[in-house]
Amino acid sequence: MAKYIDLTSDNFEATIAEGVTMVDFWAPWCGPCRMIAPVVEELAEDFDGKATICKVNTDEQQDVAVKYGIRSIPAILFFKDGELVDQMVGAASKDAFAAKINALL
């Protein structure tokens, strides 16, 4: 059973450096963030070995959120080989997230 990776300022760059990575910027007090949390966990299982699924707690990792200009959460950023290639703001369906990941694979 695959699990998403919790990112911090220490492991962020190394984790997104290779392949396709989806990063969910969230906070515990954010309702829409909690709403998509199970979807993010399902995506981690669905894309195990194909893409990396990660989460960043913006309350605990404010420096990372500032670096990527996160103003609204949930914010989902998509990276390919370390480069930001797409982003979504707000809750969306599992299919919408999966379509973005598949387009980058």
Kindly name the residue from 20, 23, 33, 53 that is annotated as catalytic: 33
Kindly name the residue from 20, 23, 30, 64 that is annotated as catalytic: 30
pLDDT of residue 1: 61
Asked whether the whole model's pTM tops 0.75, one would answer yes
Residue pLDDT, tens place only, 20-50: 999 999 999 999 999 999 999 999 999 999 9
In the predicted model, residues of the chain with pLDDT beneath 70 are 1
30: annotated active-site residue: yes
Could you tell me where the DSSP H helices lie in the chain?
12-16, 31-46, 62-67, 94-104
33: annotated active-site residue: yes
Rg (CA), the chain: 12
